[in-house]
Amino acid sequence: NAGVTQTPKFRVLKTGQSMTLLCAQDMNHEYMYWYRQDPGMGLRLIHYSVGEGTTAKGEVPDGYNVSRLKKQNFLLGLESAAPSQTSVYFCASRWVQYTGELFFGEGSRLTVL
Amino acid sequence: DAKTTQPNSMESNEEEPVHLPCNHSTISGTDYIHWYRQLPSQGPEYVIHGLTSNVNNRMASLAIAEDRKSSTLILHRATLRDAAVYYCILRDSGNTGKLIFGQGTTLQVKP
């Protein structure tokens, strides 16, 4: 049981390049989330999804797009990367029935030069 | 979303209890109080949550004030592995389930 898996774990981009981060969960969770964490800061919610085919904006959605074509996968895209998007990105998921727990991935460290 | 206030940092000695406070004076009746922790270079990890009553699990205890405007996470015997950033978060009972993280409290545990 892998839980929440993020790929890639590390990536360096040049300004203006595009890329996609993949989050995959094998727990049949309905809800999935993308957060970013800047040095010394707490996590900020970028986008989230309450089910396959649905997405919604979080606190800091600008510059990012997401898709949830399959229940187990949540993709985060950067169409034109900027240095301000240098951060560690975390994916999380949970069941639709209320429980306390969000399950987080190990993070993806992105550097934009 | 209702806000929480936590001290930036706290220190504890190994094997002693630790009480991590959290103020949430604007909490609504349907907000659950959640605690997560983040070890260095890892994703956040669920610790405990509660609504009105005190809660215990294998990791910690959560003491909630009667007026729910504050709560305390209690680690009964701190170990070096408990050194982390601890986040107190309010989550409404609505369907989005989103958690809004604050700055958290950095806990140092001294041997």
The tens place of each residue's pLDDT in chain A, 113 residues long, gives 579 999 999 999 999 999 999 999 999 999 999 999 998 888 999 999 999 999 999 989 999 999 999 999 999 999 999 999 999 999 999 887 766 688 999 999 999 99
Which of B42, B93, B99 has the CB atom closest to A102's CB atom? Answer: B99
Specify the pLDDT at position A78: 96
B56 reaches A (C-beta below 8 A): no
For residue B46, give both structure tokens.
């669920």
Residue A44 with chain B: CB contacts under 8 Å = 101
For an interface test with B, the pick among A99, A101, A103, A106 (most B C-beta atoms closer than 10 Å) comes out as A101
Task: Report how far residue A47's alpha carbon sits from residue A61's, in angstroms, rounded to the nearest whole number.
Answer: 6
A92 reaches B (C-beta below 8 A): yes
Task: Report how far residue B68's alpha carbon sits from residue B59's, in angstroms, rounded to the nearest whole number.
Answer: 22
Contact A43, A33 (CB under 8 A): no
Identify which of A76, A112, A78 has the alpha carbon closest to the alpha carbon of residue A91: A76
Task: Report how far residue B36's alpha carbon sits from residue B26's, in angstroms, rounded to the nearest whole number.
Answer: 20
Give the residue-averaged pLDDT of B36-49.
Answer: 93
